[in-house]
Amino acid sequence: MNVFRSARYFLFALLLCVVPASAFAGVFISIGIAPPVLPVYVQPPCPQDGYLWTPGYWAYGDDGYYWVPGAWVPAPEPGFLWTPPYWGFEGGHYRFFEGYWGPHVGYYGGVNYGFGYMGMGFAGGEWRGGRFAYNTAVVNVNTTVIHNTYVNETIVHNTTIINNNHVAYSGGPGGIQHQPTPEERQASTERHVAPTPVQQQHIQAAAKDPQQHFSANHGRPATVAAAKPLTAPVHTGPINGARPNTEAARPNATPGRPNTPAARPETQARPENQARPTPTPQSRPETRPTPTPQARPEARPAPTPQPRQESRPSPAPRPESRPAPAPRTEARPAPQPHAAPRPAPAPRPAPAPKEEHPHGR
């Protein structure tokens, strides 16, 4: 058993020496089942300048093959292009080679992913002075927002490898037969950058989605292309440029808040404005945020009328109004004389003369 395992590792190491050096990322997966055919789909338009298209592909996990949707992704550095991953048939197994970023597009097995990745090189656009120009002959962009475009159909015809069967692997039975060109081999010696963190998150999300697995969709993934571009906190170009602008608008809004309390001291100064028959200047500082500094100095002398307000309790008319109830107290004893005549009904014994009648009887 150990001898067989050692021989297997030796053959695997020998295979790495045979695999084209432009593979860069090396072999991560080796299985005996060919990847499914590439689904046909429509590329969503690029909504903003600075994004590059990364075509969708079949990846492999614990539950088998799953589809990673194509997406618009910001390049990690200006001038970098994306080399897509691919499956290659070697030694009776299908092996996966991861994609990478670099100054030029390297070897990706001759797989025709479309949208500029026609099998070799890249025909979807080029960098011009730190800004990416899009070839609208093969890529879909929002031309109302993106104006740095051009049309070149010649490069499309020169780099297209016919793949009517939509095969997703290179070499072996039924695979694409394309050996790396000198340009693709030279690209393997350049500095490369692994997939960005946002791309890694995109891959992990596809692996966790059951609808993206071949066992569930049978070659028809629920999502073949991301409707929205993948954004990241770094190297996003114009996107990051837009975020600070929105954040800059927030501090502009905050000074508007102190303007509202500035109107409050003006309300305290209203006693002074009451002497003025025109209260209109009070509404003007509310509509114009600029006069706030003028309102503050007016609010400072505002405490001066406070002692005047203290003198307001001095007016004596209020205590004079208090003795006014005194006559009410005088009126209270007034009913006493009315109570005096109450004993007057004493003459009621007047019926005494009635008793005289019996004497008369």
**pLDDT tens per residue, range 110-145:** 999 999 999 999 999 999 989 999 999 999 999 999
pLDDT at 319: 45
Is 73 domain-assigned?
yes
Residue 141 forms part of a structural domain: yes
pLDDT in tens, 241-289: 333 333 333 333 333 343 433 334 343 444 444 444 444 444 444 444 4
Quick one: what percent of the chain has pLDDT higher than 70?
56
Q: Which domain holds residue 203?
A: 2-240
pTM higher than 0.85 for the full model? Answer: no
pLDDT of residue 28: 60
pLDDT of residue 267: 39
**In-domain check, residue 338:** no
Structure-model confidence comparison of residues 207 and 1, the more confident one: 207
Non-local (6+) Cβ contacts of 78 within 8 A are 127, 130, 131
Q: Dihedral (C-alpha) 196, 106, 176, 138: value to the nearest 10 degrees? A: 80
Diameter of the chain measured on Cα atoms = 167
Return d(Cα 166, Cα 209) in angstroms, integer.
24
Mean of all residue pLDDT scores within the chain:
72
pLDDT in the model for residue 188 = 85
Residue 275 lies in a domain: no
pLDDT category, 231, cuts 50, 70, 90? confident
260 part of a folded domain: no
Residue 232 — pLDDT band, cuts 50, 70, 90?
A: low
Pairing of strands 71-74, 125-128: unpaired
Q: Does 256 reside within a domain?
A: no
Please provide the DSSP assignment of 7-50 as one string.
Answer: HHHHHHHHHHHHS-GGG-S-EEEEESSPPPPPPP-PPPPB-STT
> Which tens digits make up the pLDDT trace of 16-35?
444 443 344 444 678 899 99
Report the b/e string of 128-164 with b at 16+ CB within 10 A. eeeebbbbbbbbebeeeebeeeeeeeebbeebeeebe
Query: How many separate domains does the chain show?
Result: 1
DSSP 79-97: T-EEE--EEEEETTEEEEE
Instruction: Using alpha carbons, list the distances in angstroms from residue 348 to 100, 344, 352.
Output: 130, 9, 9
Q: Contact, 173 vs 90, CB < 8 A?
A: no
Give the pLDDT score at 226.
95
Question: Given pLDDT bands bounded at 50, 70 and 90, which one contains residue 173?
Answer: confident
Residue 153 lies in a domain: yes
Residue type at 263? A
Please compute the mean of the pLDDT values over residues 322-340 and round it to a whole number: 46
Tokens of 150: 């051009």
**30 in a structural domain:** yes
